[in-house]
Amino acid sequence: MGTEALALVLVACAALAGCGMPGAPQPPSLNLPARVTNLSAVRTGDQVTLTWKMPKRNTDKTPMNGNASVHVCRNQSAASACSTVTTLQVAPDAEGAFTDTLPSQLASGSPRPLTYFVELDNRKGRSAGLSNGAEILAGQAPPSVVGLSAELRSDGVLLIWAPLPPAQQSFAIRLQRKLLTPPAKKPTQGPLSQPAEPLEQTLLVEAGPHADRALDTHIHFGEVYDYVAQRVARVSIGDQTLELASAPSSPVRIDTVNVFPPEVPRGLAAVATPGENGKPPAIDLNWLPVSSPDLAGYIVYRRDISAAIPSSWQRVSPMKPIIGPGYHDAEVQPGHTYAYAVSAIGQNGHESARSAEAQETVPAP
């Protein structure tokens, strides 16, 4: 091999990390799972639900291999040790969850802070430390809501529950609504576009002597809903306010089939126009539009009150409901006086009561 060829081989070996020669030694991995930093806790009745996201790497950025031992503990004060509740085996990058049922000493008495932690151990029982603390309130939970019922009205769903005695009316009520029917496909553009209805919504009723009912006005007719209620106590500790909620009530279900007619039209006015330029006389009607969301249109009624025997009410508008709040009646006789009334009809076929009358006389030729 010539001198130039040998030099090229040596340069290539150097570029390929020494052609098999060992590089700089790397420190061994301790395989310590990274700390959990997103632990959260929610208390409902005597149960505390913990959730967190498992890390997928160790503290030295190497991938975690296999499940980690997750120690769940709770701490009643800064001066006491964190008392282990349970140990779980959870996979890397998984959603961790655990529900702790409080012992009687923590589920009774006055409200006081209680903090939960989780700690991840590797196979050698070593960890990178406790997670962030998730604080809830220990103590006696508020009494559960009983007697929850739901009644469908034209303006929403009325929810009623059994009130507490006056001495116990310091709790707020949290109502949780769940949509059970699949959301209907609605236009995403144009004048009829509507945002999709959320699957779950929450309504809070503040404490007070009349806090035994609430009207949910944000329902959509034609849907099925479940409602659940909880009593909630709010306690201020330091610079934060914590909540202590009762166990959820029994759910109540309601099918919001729309059986209600639209509002009664108002402001009906009638103005006669004489026949001119070969056109017959007529009476023009207009009224205030009805704002019901399921409005299909309007129906116009008329009676002749100038005849020797006044006629009864007759529908004069077409069989298909009128869309706008106005009507041109050209089927009138000069010198006659007519009374008009208008009703609104919904898409469900239910018709409102008739409006107040409006009278007008057609001028004689």
Q: Is residue 32 part of a domain?
A: no
Q: Is residue 344 part of a domain?
A: yes
- CA distances to 119, 125, 354 from 97, in Å: 13, 21, 59
Q: Are residues 316 and 230 in the same domain?
A: no
Q: Is residue 97 part of a domain?
A: yes
User: Which residue do the tokens 């009864």 mark?
Assistant: 312
Q: Is residue 8 part of a domain?
A: no
**pLDDT attached to residue 185:** 53
Which segment, 92-101, 160-169, 216-225, is predicted with the most confidence on average?
92-101
Rounded CA-CA distance 112/138 in Å is: 5
Q: How confident is the model at residue 17 (pLDDT cuts 50, 70, 90)?
A: very low
What is the residue-averaged pLDDT of the chain?
A: 87
List, for residues 315-365, the tens digit of each pLDDT value: 999 999 999 999 999 999 999 999 999 999 999 899 999 999 999 999 987
Q: Are residues 273 and 249 in the same domain?
A: no
Q: Are residues 248 and 282 in the same domain?
A: no
Q: Is residue 165 part of a domain?
A: yes
Q: Are residues 84 and 161 in the same domain?
A: no
Q: Are residues 244 and 322 in the same domain?
A: no
Quote the number of domains for the chain: 3
Domain range spanning residue 288? 266-361
Rounded CA-CA distance 154/262 in Å is: 9
Q: What pTM does this model have?
A: 0.71
Q: What is the CATH number of the domain that holds 274?
A: 2.60.40.10
Mean pLDDT of all residues in 86-112: 95
Rounded CA-CA distance 110/141 in Å is: 9
Q: Is residue 295 part of a domain?
A: yes
Q: Domain ends where: 225, 255, 285? A: 255
Q: Is residue 229 part of a domain?
A: yes
Which candidate, 223, 258, 216, places its Cα nearest to that of 345? Answer: 258
